[in-house]
Amino acid sequence: ETGVTQTPRHLVMGMTNKKSLKCEQHLGHNAMYWYKQSAKKPLELMFVYNFKEQTENNSVPSRFSPECPNSSHLFLHLHTLQPEDSALYLCASSQAVAWRTNTGELFFGEGSRLTVL
Amino acid sequence: DAKTTQPNSMESNEEEPVHLPCNHSTISGTDYIHWYRQLPSQGPEYVIHGLTSNVNNRMASLAIAEDRKSSTLILHRATLRDAAVYYCILRDRNSGNTPLVFGKGTRLSVIA
């Protein structure tokens, strides 16, 4: 138990569906992240939120839409996805202020395994 | 952030020590060395980090070369549960809130 919870753990969707992934952290952190991990590829950073503000969008297609309503919750809205978007989507959180002393350990959830048919 | 180089895979026998190397020849004076690992079907988890001196914690030890161009993660007694992908990541202490960038890591197999 890392203190970061992702739901659903598994999701199968068609290319025309709209779905959302949810992430919740119970650690009091103020930075949250979405990473994508495709088969046999390194983790790819998608989005970063610091204090609910998006501070990084790593050239992610617009069919992925993040939302951060507060420091504890992060969503990834999905629409008109492609089969190549099938992957493990990982959420993480950290205490952003701690980066200044470089002790900003990232805590990851177990991921949401997405399959696009 | 500077780049790291790790072997793609390593193998170890159970209950023996494991030394996982990482080269970072372009490391800057303000880069910390972080290690994370990812167990099967889980997200990555923090293992250890250091700057210049060797570090120990309950999970592992980190040995840092005197010139800081390489480091070694040491698992003192490998167990089957240590089978994972291990990532060595450099993180500039002055780079604010930018996140970790993961490479391919080293896949460690532990043989019973």
Q: Please choose, from the candidates B19, B74, B42, the residue with its C-alpha nearest in 3D space to the C-alpha of residue A9.
A: B42
Nearest-Cα distance to chain B for A101, in Å, is: 6
- Residues A57-88 have pLDDT tens digits of 888 999 999 999 999 999 999 999 999 999 99
Q: Which of A31, A105, A111 sits opposite B46 (nearest CB)?
A: A105
Q: What is the pLDDT along chain B (112 residues), one digit of tens a residue?
A: 568 999 999 999 999 999 999 999 999 888 889 999 999 989 999 999 999 999 999 999 999 999 999 999 999 999 999 999 999 999 877 665 567 889 999 999 999 9
Which residues are within 8 A (CB) of B58 and not within 5 positions of it... i.e. 6 or more apart?
A: none
Q: Which residue of B has its CA nearest to A40?
A: B104
Nearest-Cα distance to chain B for A15, in Å, is: 25
> Which residues in chain B have Cβ-Cβ distances shorter than 8 Å to A57?
none
Helix (H, G, I), strand (E, B) or coil at A100: helix
Distances, alpha carbon B48 to alpha carbons A76, B58, B95, B109, in Å: 30, 9, 19, 20
Q: Are B36 and B48 in contact (CB under 8 A)?
A: no
> Which residues lie across from A19 on neighbouring strands?
A78
Residue A102 is predicted with a pLDDT of 46
Distances, alpha carbon B20 to alpha carbons A1, B40, B57, B75, B78, in Å: 26, 18, 16, 8, 12
